[in-house]
Structure 1
Amino acid sequence: MLALLFSAACATEEAATEEMAETEDAQTEEMEAPAMASRLQTVQERGYLICASRNDVPGYGFTDEAGNNVGFDIDLCRAVAAAVLGDPDAFEIRLITAAERGPTIQSGEVDLLVRT
């Protein structure tokens, strides 16, 4: 009898947890869609993408001898700028530290965080 009660309690708890998770997912999707659409619209109206990166890691984000930002992170910015704006050079790099990653993207100061 005790095992039956325990099983019933667990099943009810699991169902409630699943229902709560589905509700939270739906609410998150509803809130994120307008924010994403407005960010995209902001970037398109501005005409360039603002990427947060670094310039001290060769291969990822680095300033070469000619003063150009190069590396995988920079190439990712180029790809997004090309996809969103039709111009792979329509982006600006904001150099940030590791500690600035979260606050910078949360504040909306940048459009894309590519810093490793």
Structure 2
Amino acid sequence: MMSCWRVRLSEPAESEFFAILRWMTEHFGKQQARVYDSTLLAALKVLIEGPGVLGSIARSELGPKISTLHIARNRRKGRHFILHRAHEVDQQIEVLPILHDSTDLARHIPPS
């Protein structure tokens, strides 16, 4: 049986999550915002499988144990990715900012 990792959203990730949904509501309506909410949550949910989840890309150039996971998966469309850091000691995935896929990643890496 595969062990589950705990997934914890950092304050910036939580703020960004709600900002994305507000923006979607303002520009595309409530229905599309609900669809995108579901897409974001589905991507976050797969992180319980750990840092090596299918689609996760190690980003050692950004820091130790940092990876990205694009939210577009399983025929769901999306323009954001989840920046995350693995903490093996307590099997926790720390979700760093959720960023638009055109973002300069290096500007958003918090210090260790």
What is the TM-score with the length of structure 2 in the denominator? 0.30
What is the TM-score with the length of structure 1 in the denominator? 0.29
- Give the helix-richer structure, 1 or 2: 1
